[in-house]
Amino acid sequence: MTLAEVFDVLLFRAGFNTAVVLAGAAMLGAGAGLIGVFVLLRRRALVSDAISHATLPGVALGFLAAVGLGLDGRNLPILLVGAASTGILGILAVQWIRDRTRLPEDAAIGTVLSVFFGAGIVLLSHIQTLAVGGQAGLDTFLIGQAAAMSRADALLIGGAAALVVLIALAAFKEFALVCFDPDFAGAGGWRVGRIDLVMLALLLAVVVIGLKTVGLILIIALVIVPPVAARFWTERLNRMALAAALFGAASGYLGAAASALLPRLPAGGVIVLVAGALFVVSLLFAPARGVLAGAVRRLRFRMAIARRQGLLAVAGGEAIADPIARLVLRRNGLIDRQDRPTESGRTAAAAARREQRLWRRYRADYPTDAIADREWSLAPIDAVLPADLVAELERRVAAS
Amino acid sequence: MLTTPQPSATTAAAPLAEADRPLSVRGLTVAYHHKPVLWDVDYSAPAGGPIAIVGPNGAGKSTFIRAVLGLVPRLSGEVRVFGRPVERQRRAIGYVPQRSSVDWDFPASALDVVAMGLYGRIGWLRPVRNRHREQALAHLDQVGMAEFAGRQIGQLSGGQQQRVFLARALAQDARLYFMDEPFAGVDAATERAIAKVLAELDRQGRTVVCVHHDLQTAPDYFRHVLLLNGRVVAAGPMETTFTVANLQVAYGGLLAAELAATAATA
């Protein structure tokens, strides 16, 4: 494999078939990431795991039905209808157990998931013993196989995924409302149950059409990982949805490309690895909520506190006890090597002292406002309070 | 139980036409699993003046509101709002749920949440437009929160979050409001903002039914009271209903001295 071959695949130049498969996988990833945002925010991540595992017996039954009808057992539409049917049965079983017994939902999910999956495995083993052709392709539903996809299959998958994206965008506001505050939605007359049902249907659609590409074990990852990664980048739902769709699309696209270049590589695994890499990068480096950004913010805060304490000590003519404060003041040229304040150090210390006195006066004289307005922690008082109020506080401090 | 009090008259002196009566509940019974929480609640809310729902913990105050709104199933009972079944009056109703009922880490700004109050009028599948955002901003301003419009809701203080919920309810532009403990655990500035909104809603002729925990302040903010403890203990105007005898029955004789002091100053 040469670099040129890699670029040919990535740039949709490796034949029409490969291009269609890549586009289909990218659209599937976008749909999965987008609906995944709502699945995550509605706390339905585990339910989607139950759905995906519950599709396996349906795939096997679909195969048997197709063979019974005299068709090719690998007829994708029939297999997907079968998968969707048992997927729905799985959801209904979880909901029935949750509503009719005192079992918690996670216990219901664990039970349903494993029983349906077990049934699927038994049926698949049975199919392997039958004297019909086509069984060999069935195990790709477990771990996915993008390269083996036909053009018609890829168009079906991409088209259905595009439909999922359109519906999710149309109902964006309703989904957001139900995810954030279902009680408020219900009180306002929105049919929360029906909106949930549409969300669940879209999730089921993504899981079913993703079976062939990603496989049922890993499709859950394509639904959950992109939105989780996207959450690190933003505090806004629409941006989170956009990022999740892009992350999902990139995962599907790169995974399918890898599978096209190295046909023995399982597409599902590669797709999820790409999503996982995006997650790790987001977790570490995202500026909004990433680990590194958080550490930097904490460090800055710690240094600002140390600087303030050090300057207050200087203003009071005391020794600076905190070694970090000494370090910060020295680095800023506010004290010399013998810890004696420099000219600029004395100015800064006087300013810190003034800040402290004014804030204290403010908190003593306007206690309720001070509590309501907690923004003051380290901000300069002139920037937070109006000038006339600061001047009044100055007078009171001077008078006391 | 000390005495069996006479429930006060549930309505003001002048009888109201059915269509003018903000809320009318008959025979409401609610249970969680097999444990009844509310029994045979009959209540008719008068128009004019905010109404406090008062009672001890576990008295079913929140459940009353949630059952009226259809958020928990009613085992029996009929709820009418302005003379029609509550299900057909959704647009006339505004709701301020308990602050703890949602996840404040949700990716949304204060403005986004207030705009949710407009969704009902925006309608199915239609997007939120700039004029809706401007309306939402005006409602944030009503509760003194305009400068926090772009802030992620998790980075607001508890009182500020409560004011966001209040602004969202104002955006609903309702004739009848249900509020679940809006005064619980808020700072002084928020308490002032909520009190101002209650007075403003009253002035506009809108009815507020509000679960209220603080017996000290109940007479300051509300004109009528519904005393609950699994059933209706008493209901009526604050002056005649918020009495030591009624409170003692509602609270089962607990805190009798404290209640007496409260009622005496009311």
Check whether residue A300 and residue A275 sit in a common domain: no
**Chain A with chain B: Cβ pairs closer than 8 A:** 92
pLDDT at A372 over 80: no
- Residue B210 DSSP code: E
B259 assigned to some structural domain: yes
Interface touch A174/B95, C-beta < 8 Å: no
pLDDT per position as a tens digit, A24-38: 999 999 999 999 999
Check whether residue A304 and residue A193 sit in a common domain: no
B249 assigned to some structural domain: yes
Interface touch A372/B91, C-beta < 8 Å: no
B113 assigned to some structural domain: no
Range of the domain at A160: 3-287
Closest-CA residue of A relative to B151 is: A235
Interface contact B150, partner A, CB < 8 A: no
B253 assigned to some structural domain: yes
Chain-centre distance for alpha carbon B251: 20
Q: Say which of B87, B119, B168 has its CB closest to residue A173.
A: B119
- End of a domain among A272, A287, A302? A287
Residue A387 binned pLDDT confidence (cut-offs 50, 70, 90): confident
Range of the domain at B181: 20-101+174-265
Check whether residue A279 and residue A368 sit in a common domain: no
B30 assigned to some structural domain: yes
Check whether residue A322 and residue A228 sit in a common domain: no
Chain A residues with CB-CB distance to B150 below 8 A: none
Interface contact B189, partner A, CB < 8 A: yes
Chain A residues with CB-CB distance to B172 below 8 A: 188
Chain B residues with CB-CB distance to A386 below 8 A: none
- End of a domain among A246, A262, A287? A287
Count of domains forming chain A: 2
B88 assigned to some structural domain: yes
B114 assigned to some structural domain: no
Interface touch A368/B188, C-beta < 8 Å: yes
Residue B262 binned pLDDT confidence (cut-offs 50, 70, 90): low
Check whether residue A184 and residue A99 sit in a common domain: yes
d(CA A298, CA A304): 10
pLDDT per position as a tens digit, B75-108: 999 999 999 999 999 999 999 999 999 999 999 9
Give the residue from A184, A194, A371, A375 with the most B CB atoms within 10 Å of its CB, the best one to mutate. A184
Query: How close A360 gets to chain B, by Cα (Å)?
Result: 19
- End of a domain among A287, A311, A339? A287
CA-to-CA dists, residue B211 to A58, B171, B220, B236, angstroms = 51, 20, 14, 15
Residue ranges of the alpha helices (H) in chain B? Answer: 61-68, 110-115, 119-122, 130-142, 158-171, 188-203, 218-221, 238-241, 244-250, 256-265
Check whether residue A363 and residue A266 sit in a common domain: no
Check whether residue A330 and residue A181 sit in a common domain: no
Q: Say which of A41, A188, A368 has its CB closest to residue B172.
A: A188
Give the residue from A40, A175, A181 with the most B CB atoms within 10 Å of its CB, the best one to mutate. A181
Residue A377 binned pLDDT confidence (cut-offs 50, 70, 90): low
Flag whether the ipTM exceeds 0.85.
yes
Interface touch B119/A190, C-beta < 8 Å: yes
Check whether residue A303 and residue A283 sit in a common domain: no
Check whether residue A280 and residue A312 sit in a common domain: no
Check whether residue A351 and residue A213 sit in a common domain: no
Chain A residues with CB-CB distance to B93 below 8 A: 187-188
Check whether residue A331 and residue A283 sit in a common domain: no
Count of domains forming chain B: 1
Q: Helix A237-261 crosses helix A172-180 at what angle (to 10 degrees)?
A: 110
B167 assigned to some structural domain: no
What pLDDT was estimated at residue A373? 59
Check whether residue A273 and residue A308 sit in a common domain: no
